[in-house]
Structure 1
Amino acid sequence: MLTIAVVFFAMQLAVLSTPVVQVPGRIDIPLTKRRALQADVVDPQNLQEKLTSVIFKIANGLTAYKANTGEDHPLAAGFVFPPAVGGIAQRASKGTEPLQDDDGSLWEGAISVGTPAKTYTVQMDTGSSDLFLPGPTCRSSCSGHKTYDPSSSSTAVDRRKSFSLAYGGGDTVQGAQYLDTVGIAGLTASSQTLGAASEYSEGFSADYFPPDGLLGMAYQSISDYNAPPLFQTLVAQKQVSQSVFAFKLSQSGSTLTLGGADSSKYTGSITYAPVTTKGYWQVTLDAVSVNGNSAVGPLQSVIDTGTTLIIGDASHVKAFYSKISGSKDASSTVGPGYYTFPCSSTPQVSFTFAGQAFKIDPKLFNLGRVSLGSNQCVGGVVGSQSLPFWVVGDTFLQNVYSVYDLSQNRVGFAALK
């Protein structure tokens, strides 16, 4: 088994100068965040932007699924599409998800593109399926980002197709599609589809979105390009021995492993849950528990490394917080969908997949105090009127080793070492 573990630094940490540690069958490159979302006092505007961004990203995928398959995605039933998207049958041309991360909660890494190869930083996102970078005509809006110029690559081919992705708050990424050679950790994908953006709106400026672009790692059916995502191309071109990748997202050292799961990163066995619809990495969440007692479930969930929080449908999130003593609706202090609990008694929250419960570190569930000196803290599970399902982001994923198995269409979780 060839397993290539790739750990990426945040953009500000000089990715390329970091020594690559090689062991037989694996390449390890360090990865960190700039700093965690958790803070002494929360930033309500930032938290609301995160919530909005996820809704628009999910809308992009549901709309692409309809365009690619001719059928509504099962998760579209009950989903409230943002006005900019206008429903599942209509392709969005404007809208926003800033993917804004001034607190540094993006997992970033390095890829190479073109011939001769040039290196770029990208966010690793299991909640979407497309790769895009700033293009040569993206001027001031892409300032601070490294530009991909197809005319300087001998392997670039113009697909003569455009793309447009809508995100929360009015932001967009749009441009032209190309085929080119893309490399990651010594693996090479030829004729990989990627986007060269002609426009990055404000939410993608370097101040808010440090990486050059974004690398989606979900299924082709939610690709705006309707083309194989990078990992699927690596599998098809036999660049990896197993069609599996895995994440360790942790403050104690983080890795993306391509080609298998790295047993040195987890303890015990891996618990697998089957993918219920091939689009997102969608699995059944058996139960969400508080202090050992089931509060809600079963629920459909999307496993998303590109989402910081855990976001669920408003009714089940309300039911969840009703099991937490002293919790309160924080719509008026933090924003719609958020709840608080007494800082002196952070609850023990766990998520159960395929019959196995996994605990969330109380320090990760607690996002911080509502205000300086307040005795009320903000919880990492947030409600949304738009979602009829749950999006499980880094608040949970930093507690486990997560495995994404493309050949058997399943997601696995194991306890971190």
Structure 2
Amino acid sequence: MDCRPHHSCKQAETSLIVMRSFSAFLIAVIITASRSTSWASVTIPLTKLERAGSYLQGSAHADRARASFLKTTSGPKTIPATNLVYIQYTTSVGVGCPPTYYNLIVDTGSSNTFVGTGKKYVRTSTSVPTGQNVTVNYGSGFFSGIEYNDTVTLAAGFVIANQSIGDALKFANFDGVDGIIGVGPVDLTQDTLFPDTDTLIPTIMDNALKQGLIKQRIFGISFAPATTSNDTNGAITYGGIDPAFYTGNITYAPVTKIHPAAHYWGINVTDVTYGTHTVIPRSTAGIVDAGTSLVVLADDFFFRYLQAIPGAYLDVNNTGLIVIPPSSVAGMQPLNFTINGRAFSMDTAAQLIPLNENAIWGIETGVQYGVITNLGADSGRGSDFILGQKFMEKYYVVFDCQSQTRWLCVH
């Protein structure tokens, strides 16, 4: 593959990025009914890697740890993504020239891109040290190393020059993957470099726009329930919306102004109901996060949900997951999140871990577990829920930071 950019461009200037703070972004998340289709344009697949047992068993605890830490010449490019043993999506990203390809977690809750936690960073003639060290903490993991500028290939003909890339020399809890591609707001990169701690690192989206690869600072994500442990059934669209992945109308909602959710892709929900039971009785702020596997609710909200399911209990000491008696499964009701006046529903199947996946998750065979879990703290702290992968599998989600008013778009 020719990894040279099709036009010349200078390295992104930090001063330009600093001027465009996340508070000036528009965030749009579009949630819509997804439909199966062939890639209509260049599509980046999300890849699922083989992980099982103890790794998956800790996913609920990892999500809680993550939650506590979370305080143009071309049209849109759609790139496939693969489901990582039911709990994470990765995409193949080339770094260097000629490129070495890495399986990177797709993360909307962070903004640094790095490699080296599995396959080591291979330096080529395009790898230029920046003179900076880099460290990022993720709640349930971290990496630290050296920052480079390098060529990044997302798809054929979609090549970013001088993209800032971390080389992970020390790290924890990244088994089975090579790093992260961070597509969160650029402000999340502040305080990750040393010695220039105040410097913001231009993200993949920043540089793709500046170098004319995309015309709009918008990206869409399509997830879907996986049918195998390595299912390339997802997609990321850079630079716009891909109508091949949704039907119906798009609902837009402004990004919340409540902190810390406002630092991320955060929104307000008006209320949340489970059947006739009220789970969240008032407008409250939370985060849409592809890097969180489950759906996480503040403890007071979560226990309202738990008590509405007869016999259900939280397996605190072992899995951290909700256990639902077989006698209660048939009577389960939809869990509805109201976003900008529209209800987005998780039906019974969306609330449950399929029994045939228990062995891969490392949880007890024949026991019915759920995907809704608790935050580890009551509401009122500025981030009372996380709509993670299991919610996003129901809908097409678009993150729009184009205008001066930030939005979340949901179908």
The TM-score, its normalising length taken from structure 2, stands at 0.71
Q: Does 1:248 align with 2:222?
A: yes
The residue aligned with 2:119 is 146
Q: Does 1:380 align with 2:375?
A: no
Structure 2 CA distance for partners of 1:328 and 1:149, relative to 1, 3 Å:
closer
The residue aligned with 1:393 is 388
Q: Does 1:290 align with 2:249?
A: no
Aligned length: 328
TM-superposed CA distance for 1:256, in Å, is: 0.8
The residue aligned with 1:364 is 350
Which of 168, 187, 193 lines up with 1:197 in the alignment? Answer: 168
Structure 2 CA distance for partners of 1:124 and 1:333, relative to 1, 3 Å:
closer
The residue aligned with 1:173 is 143
Which of 120, 126, 133 lines up with 2:108 in the alignment? Answer: 126
Partner Cα separation in structure 2 for residue 368 and residue 36 of structure 1:
17
The residue aligned with 1:51 is 60
Partner Cα separation in structure 2 for residue 266 and residue 36 of structure 1:
30
The residue aligned with 1:187 is 158
The residue aligned with 2:298 is 313
**Structure having greater relative contact order (Cα 8 Å, sep ≥ 6):** 2
**For structure 1, which segment, 320-329 or 27-36, has the greater mean C-alpha deviation from structure 2 after superposition?**
27-36
Which of 234, 258, 262 lines up with 2:208 in the alignment? Answer: 234
Structure 2 CA distance for partners of 1:60 and 1:332, relative to 1, 3 Å:
closer
Partner Cα separation in structure 2 for residue 103 and residue 303 of structure 1:
21
TM-superposed CA distance for 1:60, in Å, is: 5.2
Structure 2 CA distance for partners of 1:192 and 1:110, relative to 1, 3 Å:
same
TM-superposed CA distance for 1:166, in Å, is: 3.2
Partner Cα separation in structure 2 for residue 229 and residue 57 of structure 1:
21
The TM-score, its normalising length taken from structure 1, stands at 0.70
TM-superposed CA distance for 1:250, in Å, is: 1.0
Structure 1 residue runs of 5 or longer lacking an equivalent are 1-20, 38-42, 63-100, 135-141
SS at match of 2:106: strand
Q: Does 1:158 align with 2:129?
A: yes
Structure 2 residue runs of 5 or longer lacking an equivalent are 1-37, 72-82, 194-199, 227-232, 356-362
TM-superposed CA distance for 1:189, in Å, is: 2.2
Root mean square deviation, CA, Å: 2.9
Which of 274, 287, 290 lines up with 1:302 in the alignment? Answer: 287
The residue aligned with 2:242 is 262
Partner Cα separation in structure 1 for residue 129 and residue 51 of structure 2:
39
Identity %: 24
TM-superposed CA distance for 1:326, in Å, is: 3.8
TM-superposed CA distance for 1:292, in Å, is: 5.5
TM-superposed CA distance for 1:197, in Å, is: 0.9
Which of 108, 111, 115 lines up with 2:97 in the alignment? Answer: 115
CA contact (8 A) 1:276 1:284 kept: yes
Structure 2 CA distance for partners of 1:251 and 1:385, relative to 1, 3 Å:
closer
Partner Cα separation in structure 2 for residue 60 and residue 289 of structure 1:
27
SS at match of 1:160: strand
What letter matches 2:130 in structure 1? Answer: R
